[in-house]
Amino acid sequence: MNKETSMNASVDVAIIGAGPSGAVAAALLRKAGHSVLVLERQHFPRFSIGESLLPQSMAYLEEAGMLQDVVEAGFQFKNGAHFVYRDQASAYDFRDKHSEGWGTTYQVERAVFDDILIRRAAKQGAEVRFGHAVLDMQTGDAPVLEVADEAGTRYRVNARFVLDASGFGRVLPRLLNLEAPTRMPTRAAIFTHVRDGIPVGVHDRNKITVAVHPEHRDVWYWMIPLANGRSSVGCVAEAAVLDVPEAEREAKLRSLIRSEPTLNRLIGDAPFLMPVRHIGGYSANVERLHGPGYALLGNAGEFLDPVFSSGVTIAFRSAHLAVETLKRQLNGEAVDWQAQYDRPLRKGIDTFRAFVENWYTGKLQDIIFARDQVPQIRRMISAVLAGYAWDETNPYVVEPVRRLNTLHEVCTQRG
């Protein structure tokens, strides 16, 4: 038997990508007794951005049997978000929210976090092949993937269904020409990790800090405290603002940090622990999230913006919804992927989109920094910021655009 023949596989579900959505989907499918093969182009652990989780994610980690591994990993505890703009500050405690469910989570180094999840999925019986790239796909009731390992050996994977969890790699959108225009402007981010050296009691490490540039309200920063005295810090702006040669990125980020009073005070001169990285054009969309024999999970389908750390939550939600639909299909039931997967997933994405768009117009910033906030409404906003963007008991999920516009008018009238 030659190597190519020995690597051929037939499984119930093939998953492209071993990131959070792929790992959770694999674990949930294994719990249901289905055979799973995960194909990952890279080797883990590997660096990834998106270190601040939302509390709603915890329910999916628990459902997938991964919660204990995450809790015991020693990640930085997180209970909310701290927003700053010039001399204004507003902190949201996610435990004080409208929606039922988790109010706390973690801020994680994604290389470690993602590795924990996929290793747990492997222990649950999923086969994982690192260093294997999907080159092509034949769609249909019995999809076939053409795959290559790092030695260039090609082989075929026959599956009853394929889930694309390839994140920003967006494997199937590229191979099947599924890309669609995104409504989000082209933005970019530059970022690094720092040794923050913040003394105990000076800053609340249990919250992500989101800071608005003092002169340009569409430019914002994150500071995410991590374990062991590290923080992830970055700046997001229109792509042209951050379009500098690689050799100038460190100076650019340092200058931007020093221009924001709170971050300058906390980490203005903190040593960078890795080269400053750049990511641009990350907002993405597709015509549809499913097709004959496949569905797209997480960032492989749509990514909005990093401002509210929604990426991993959307990834987990997509894995949960897709697996619930797929289990019925694999058991011989007739399913409607549009009604049971696409529309329900996009409901929460559209909620997050309304919040993101209102952030960049400045309306949501006005709401967040408003004086004399009504506690009940504040808890509704807090619930969405905590990831509960699918909870339709929340008026800001049912009608996010209208509700935010009305709330902004009220805040503006109050001054």
User: Model's pTM, two decimal places?
Assistant: 0.95
Average pLDDT over residues 320-327: 98
pLDDT in tens, 63-107: 999 999 999 999 999 999 999 999 999 999 999 999 999 999 999
Q: pLDDT value at position 2?
A: 57
% of the chain beyond a pLDDT of 90:
85
Mention every residue, 6+ apart, whose C-beta is less than 8 A from residue 102: 55, 56, 57, 58, 59, 386
Can you give the three-state secondary structure of the chain, one letter per residue?
Answer: CCHHHHHCEEEEEEEECCCHHHHHHHHHHHHCCCCEEEEECCCCCCCCCCCECCCCHHHHHHHCCCHHHHHCCCCEEECEEEEEECCEEEEEECCCCCCCCCCCEEECCHHHHHHHHHHHHHHCCCEEEECCEEEEEECCCCCEEEEECCCCCEEEEEEEEEEECCHHHCHHHHHCCCEECCCCCCEEEEEEEEECCCCCCCCCCCEEEEEECCCCCCCEEEEEECHHHEEEEEEEEEHHHHCCCHHHHHHHHHHHHHCCHHHHHHHCCCCECCCCEEEECCCEEECCCEECCEEECHHHCCECCCCCCCHHHHHHHHHHHHHHHHHHHHCCCCCCHHHHHHHHHHHHHHHHHHHHHHHHHCHHHHHHCCCCCCHHHHHHHHHHHCCCCCCCCCHHHHCHHHHHHHHHHHHHHHC
**Residue 3: pLDDT over 80:** no
pLDDT in tens, 163-203: 999 988 899 999 998 887 766 678 899 999 999 988 888 89
pLDDT in tens, 288-299: 899 999 999 998
Q: pLDDT value at position 4?
A: 61
Residue 155 · residue 147 · CB < 8 Å: yes
pLDDT band at 217 (very low <50, low <70, confident <90, very high): very high
Q: pLDDT value at position 299?
A: 85
Q: pLDDT value at position 5?
A: 64
Q: pLDDT value at position 285?
A: 74
Q: pLDDT value at position 284?
A: 65
Reference 73, options 39, 103, 105; nearest CA is 105
Q: pLDDT value at position 107?
A: 97
Average pLDDT over residues 103-121: 97
Q: pLDDT value at position 283?
A: 62
Q: pLDDT value at position 150?
A: 96
Q: pLDDT value at position 210?
A: 97
- Cα 68 off chain centre by: 21
Instruction: For each of the domains in the chain, give its residue range(s) and CATH number, in order of start.
Output: 8-78+108-181+283-347 (3.50.50.60), 187-280 (3.30.9.100), 362-414 (no CATH)
Q: pLDDT value at position 300?
A: 80
pLDDT in tens, 362-404: 999 999 999 989 999 999 999 999 999 999 999 999 999 999 9
Q: pLDDT value at position 280?
A: 82
